Amino acid sequence: MEIITEITELDHNEFYRIYSLKRGWVLRLLLLLALDLLLSAFIPLSSFYLVTVIFMGIILLPFLFGIPYLVAKKRIRRLYEQTPFPNGKKTFKPFATGIEITDETATNFLRYEDIRQVERTGDYVYIITRFNGYYLLPAWCFSSEDQAAHFMRLANSGMAQATGTRAKTPLTFKPIYLLGLLCLIPALGFFAGLVLLILGIVHFKDKVFIIMGAIGMLITIGVYAFLFHFMMTSDVVRTGFSEIAQTEVNELVKNVEFYKLQNGTYPDSLQQLDTKGSFTNIYDPLSSAKIGDNATPFRYSKKGNKYLLFSVGRDGKPNTADDIYPTLTNADTSKLGFIRKPE
């Protein structure tokens, strides 16, 4: 096999752009989305989750795309400066122990143990050496895609034999990769991702499995982080909890009054109603709904032959305008001991 190339400065500039920007962009994009959803849930930059996601994405973008682009571009530019006669006509001939490279000035033999990497990005096959920069082989210099793939296989096999490692094989689709679709299912996707991650590391030694597993776990974390944030901040959810609190505080009045009928006095605390086998709920959904807080009862205080009973409301703070008091419209409340909401 003999590959003849003719490289110009324009080829190197185009290679810089492709190598620096496109290399690994899918993985970085998926990582950006997963981190964006996760961080937006725990670091709210706005009361609107979508706005937080947008701002967090803008913050993360330079770290996952801008900085890697500049670092890769600087690395390739440094390798270019180390490459003897990077431009002009060259001939590449792969052999069992290395690649013969002939340019307009001399013929050199690049041994496989002196090669660090042989891969393809965009329209370029590139060879990065351990000491003297890199070489470019544009796709057009190969007679076909099969010839380009064959050249890369020969080089990678020679490198593997010279270093005693496994030869790199081009990434190809395998039907078993369809298992990765399980990672898109929330909850199940986390465990499916964990299994794929372990299989990729221990059994198959396949980076695709490892990437799919990691992304599957991050997707589930991101989805539940979004739901957590929505539950804690959404007005719709808080309104729903307010309606539940109103219903339950109304029911609690009946239990307090029934306690008085049985015992002749109102309870000193709501815990006296929460006996074994009782179905009475004494806990305020708007207070105990907060993550990290212990379940908190409705606010109750006995005041002689009366009592004060209310929910802390949507803001979670007692003695504010949105506190929820009992409202019994179909009963003779004059005979009941609860103190009405202050006007």
- pLDDT tens-digit profile of 305-314? 899 999 998 8
Instruction: Tell me the pLDDT tens digit for each residue of 170-185.
Output: 555 567 777 777 777 7
Q: Note whether 183 and 239 are same-domain residues.
A: no
Q: What is the mean pLDDT of residues 180-209?
A: 79
- Output the pLDDT for position 293: 47
Looking at residue 299, what is its pLDDT? 92
Mean pLDDT of the chain: 81
User: Is 239 part of any domain?
Assistant: yes
For residues 123 and 126, what is the distance between their CA atoms, to the nearest angstrom? 10
pTM: 0.48
* Average pLDDT for 287-297: 60
- Give 215-243 pLDDT, tens digit per residue: 888 778 777 777 776 666 666 667 788 88
Same domain, residue pair 249 and 202: no
288 shares a domain with 214: no
CA distances from 209 to 169, 191, 307 (A): 15, 13, 63
Q: Predicted confidence band at 142 (pLDDT cuts at 50, 70, 90)?
A: very high
Quick one: 50 and 164 in the same domain? Answer: yes
Question: Is residue 100 domain-shared with residue 228, that is, in the same domain?
Answer: no
For the chain, the straight-line distance linking the first and the last C-alpha, in angstroms and rounded, comes to: 93
Cβ pair 244, 285 in contact under 8 A = yes
Domain that holds residue 69: 3-169
Q: Any alpha helices (H) in 83-206, and if so which ranges?
A: 145-163, 188-198
Q: What is the pLDDT of residue 291?
A: 41
Other beta carbons less than 10 A from residue 141's beta carbon: 20
Give yes or no: residues 98 and 199 share one domain. no
Structure-model confidence comparison of residues 293 and 295, the more confident one: 295
Judgement on whether residues 315 and 267 belong to the same structural domain of the protein: yes
pLDDT above 90 for 192: no
Q: At what angle do helices 9-22 and 67-82 cross, to 10 degrees?
A: 150
Euclidean distance between CA atoms 251 and 155, whole angstroms: 78
Please report the pLDDT score of residue 268 as a whole number. 92
The predicted model gives 256-274 an average pLDDT of: 90
Q: How many angstroms separate the CA atoms of 83 and 75, rounded?
A: 13
- Whether the CB-CB separation of 79 and 133 falls below 8 Å is answered with yes
Query: What is residue 241's predicted lDDT score, i.e. its pLDDT?
Result: 82
Q: Please check whether residues 152 and 10 belong to one and the same domain.
A: yes
Domain boundary among 191, 218, 233: 233
